[in-house]
Amino acid sequence: MVVSVESLPNSNPNLYNSTSMTSSLDDQTIIRLAEEKIRVKTIALGLRVTEFFHDFDRLRSGYVTASQFKRCLDTNLRLQLSPAEEELLFLKYDLKHDGTICYREFCDVINRKYPETTITPYPENFTNAAPPYLNSWRSTRHIGTQDESERLQNVLQRIAIYCKQRGIDVLTTMEQYDKHKMGEITDSQFYRAFAGPQLTEAEMTLLRDKYSDPGKPGLINYLNFVQDLNKFSRTNESTLPTTDSTNIEQTPIVGVEEKAEQRSIQEISDKIRIATFKYGIRISDFFKDYDKLRSGIITEGQFESALSLSVQKQACLNMNDIKKLTEYYRRPDGRIYYKEFIDRMENAFNIPELEKKPLTQVYRPGQGLLSRPLNTNLTPDEEDRVSQILSTIIEKVHKRRLVLFPFFKPYDRSKAFTRACTKHQFGRVLRTLDLIPSPYDFNILCKKFEDRETGDINYALFCQMTEQDFVAIKVESEQEFQFERARIDEEQKREKLKIKIDTSNVNMNDLMGRIRHHVLTNRIRVKEFFEDFDPLRLGTISQARFIRVLASLGLTGLDGIPLTEAQMYALCDYYRHPDQHDLIIWKQFEQDVESVFTLSDLEKAPNVQVSPQPIYEMPTTGTPNWSNIDPFNKEELHQAMEIWKIKCEQRRIDIVQPFKQFDRHNRGHVTRLQFRQCLAIAGLSYTQKELEAVEAAFIDDNGFHYRRFVEWIQPRRIEPLRYNILQQELKNLNKQRIPPEIKSLTSIQDVLQKIKGQVYRRRIRLNEWLKDHDKLNCGRMSFDTFRRAINPCQLELTESELSLLED
């Protein structure tokens, strides 16, 4: 039912604004009306009158002056009280008769919910509450013409009947958008919260203009709307028993078809699935607005409102269809379990969590299967007549060489190219082309191509059946789109494109050693790269993803290991799953590679010795083995290196700088030509044989390794650790013998006399030195702290004298 907002009997604003009536009333009535006016204003504005008087009553005595009392009412409430009303209020609340006003008594009367003297079995009729519409009786616009007023009353009556029959709570629905309880919502919120019958755009505009607030553009006072619905609802209840049955049948109820087609739940669900799939509607968003806690359960009215807003227009649903769905998903407590409904509708032609079911076959409709079909409800005689009409039109089109589609298309621009037009537009085009049949034949032709839901004519199919070369919709059979057939074709294509790669020449030990070296030097966590492609943590991924992860690890980049295609496929074959041959066990690969850092499950085997990490370091590929160098070349190499080393030491040549100028990325390698240019820059002479011997010793697959060359020419000096040197110096210093004491004092009195003499002669304040080490001023400190505090004073005390003083 519609929740009502009851009004007061004396809520007419003209009663408070008229000054002529106060002269004919007694003093008590004038005071009561003035208090009622103030009470209505405070409740409507949500004010606490006591807070305003506290600003003038710092001592909280409960009294203010008459001018302060008037100032509070004029400034905060903006009320225009007559002089008689002000004088009577002052006399009533001047309890001390000294000119001060007792505002506490005044606030108690204003904030009182029920009248003090009225005792009745129905106190709700005498409640001191705000008038309807939150005191905004001027917020509704006046509908000028009589025709518009009658249309508005008709619309409100239809909405009231609709909400009454279905038990829709309009006020609760709209209050969900009014977070601050202002009584007003925006236009878009009003359209969205509207749960009444399906109205036209003109009728919705009429409602918006009636209940919009002229002082606040873009806001609609929904309390006015609810109040008017309550009036019509009470009027319908009082007049319904005396209404003639013929008049009831003539009352239109929008949203309920007169001869609604009885569909099954499966047919209704299929229509909603097709609509959500074709138009990409996310109906879950409409239902979640009513389910703040995401419990999956909403009320019946909320379910009908969300379903109407989401797919009623696209799926062409009537109220009977919505009622059937409501009854089907109703729970024993009367609420609707919409979560099950959403899961069935949004997973049309799809399977949820498909990533967990890689072998599941998914059915997708073929091309044209979801398009508008032709009307098949014609009788055999009508079908024969349609065939004759189409034959006549086809003959004329072929003879005159007409192209029909461009003539229909301009009428479809306002509907986003739906390939449909109205019956009047369809006849207009046929009349323009002189193809119009008789009225009876035209009705049968329209009946064949009309949409049973909207009544529009599918002119695209008409053009396809009348023109020879025009194809509007190509409907393919389902047998051509079977998933199994597509999968078999895809596998055959892969077999044809598959290239056999020879992996017999790949040395797996050397390959894994170089991968471990790359991971160790760059500190790469292999596990993190693979987990991005294995969300279920199964430990296996496809071959394509395995190769992608190897590339992301840097094994195909410039600074990494440039793996060949044969090496890639060799790794895939080595770690392939024994049962599922299209999957790779990346977990085993990760354990083999990350063993360079540590071994797993060491807590179970505490006696296992972990190999040091330097044993996994490998030289660059192509590095020559010096033990296999020809003895003649080895002699030339040593001779050239000794000569260059002596020249660099004598001339103080920094051989590293020319190489760094060519190695911008600090890779440690330069080309053969750049190496020769560096020798020329440094001024190092050489013969051709010496140059060839040096290049053969230091060139690998990445180029000339100049860092090894520089270490040979200018070896770095390894300086010892300074910390070890300091430790040794301290040990040596502690080993020195302490010199014997000469003429040390043995009496405590003599020691104290010696200290007194030093203090007197050098004017030392021992208290200042000792106080810095006694933060709590307790007068006590440890032996070490005492010596640390006495030493800066330089009292010339020996070790035995200090010990005697401490004891």
Dihedral, CA atoms, 772, 778, 784, 786, nearest 10 degrees? 60
Do residues 227 and 282 share a domain?
no
CB 728 within 8 A of CB 784: no
* pLDDT of 149: 79
CB 131 within 8 A of CB 40: yes
* pLDDT of 146: 67
Which residue reads 């055999």 in tokens? 380
Q: What's the DSSP call for residue 576?
A: B
Do residues 282 and 341 share a domain?
yes
Dihedral, CA atoms, 344, 345, 351, 355, nearest 10 degrees? -110
Strand partners for 782: none
> Roughly how many angstroms between the first and final C-alpha of the chain, as a whole number?
98
Domain end among 601, 622, 656: 601
> How many other C-beta atoms lie within 10 A of the C-beta of residue 114?
13
Tally of CA atoms within 13 A in the half-sphere of 649 that contains its CB: 11
* pLDDT of 8: 37
The answer to whether residue 233 is domain-embedded is yes
Q: What is the CATH number of the domain that holds 154?
A: 1.10.238.10
Tell me how far apart the alpha carbons of residues 291 and 286 are, in angstroms, rounded to a whole number.
Answer: 10
Domain end among 53, 85, 111: 111
Tell me how far apart the alpha carbons of residues 160 and 230 are, in angstroms, rounded to a whole number.
Answer: 7
In this structure, what are the phi and psi dihedrals at residue 704, rounded to the nearest 5 degrees? -85, 120
At position 502, the amino acid (one-letter code) is: D
* pLDDT of 243: 36
The answer to whether residue 687 is domain-embedded is yes
Tokens for 23? Answer: 């002269």
Domain end among 325, 353, 381: 353
Tell me how far apart the alpha carbons of residues 560 and 553 are, in angstroms, rounded to a whole number.
Answer: 8
The answer to whether residue 461 is domain-embedded is no
* pLDDT of 298: 92
Do residues 45 and 94 share a domain?
yes
CB 132 within 8 A of CB 11: yes
* pLDDT of 250: 34
Q: What's the DSSP call for residue 221?
A: E
CB 672 within 8 A of CB 704: yes
Do residues 592 and 657 share a domain?
no
Q: What's the DSSP call for residue 77?
A: I
Tell me how far apart the alpha carbons of residues 383 and 656 are, in angstroms, rounded to a whole number.
Answer: 96
pLDDT along the chain (807 residues), means of 10: 37 41 69 82 75 85 88 78 85 87 87 62 56 44 65 87 81 83 83 82 84 81 84 67 37 36 79 82 88 89 88 83 89 88 79 71 63 71 87 88 85 68 86 86 86 77 81 58 52 60 80 84 86 89 88 69 81 89 89 82 80 66 60 75 86 86 85 87 85 82 83 79 85 74 77 83 82 83 83 79 79
CB 35 within 8 A of CB 27: no
* Nearest partner of 585 among 573, 595, 596, judged by Cα: 573
Do residues 515 and 597 share a domain?
yes
The answer to whether residue 206 is domain-embedded is yes
Tell me how far apart the alpha carbons of residues 229 and 235 are, in angstroms, rounded to a whole number.
Answer: 10
Q: What does the DSSP assignment read for 704-731?
A: EEHHHHHHHHSPPP-PPPHHHHHHHHHH
Tokens for 636? Answer: 């030339």
Do residues 276 and 344 share a domain?
yes
* pLDDT of 4: 36
Tokens for 190? Answer: 């009003």
Do residues 80 and 42 share a domain?
yes
Q: In total, how many domains does the chain have?
A: 6
Which residue reads 């109220």 in tokens? 319
Give the torsion sign (CA, 243, 247, 252, 256).
positive
Do residues 591 and 646 share a domain?
no
Per-position b or e across 578-612, b if 16+ CB within 10 A of its CB: eeeeebbbbbebbeebbebeeeeeeeeeeeeeeee
pTM of the entire structure?
Answer: 0.31
The answer to whether residue 515 is domain-embedded is yes
Strand partners for 542: 583
The answer to whether residue 363 is domain-embedded is no
Tell me how far apart the alpha carbons of residues 459 and 441 are, in angstroms, rounded to a whole number.
Answer: 16
Tell me how far apart the alpha carbons of residues 595 and 591 are, in angstroms, rounded to a whole number.
Answer: 6
Do residues 520 and 584 share a domain?
yes
The answer to whether residue 33 is domain-embedded is yes
Q: Tell me if residue 514 falls in helix, strand or coil.
A: helix
Strand partners for 136: none
* Nearest partner of 152 among 202, 219, 213, 227, judged by Cα: 202
* pLDDT of 586: 92
The answer to whether residue 309 is domain-embedded is yes
- Note down the domain range covering 776: 748-806
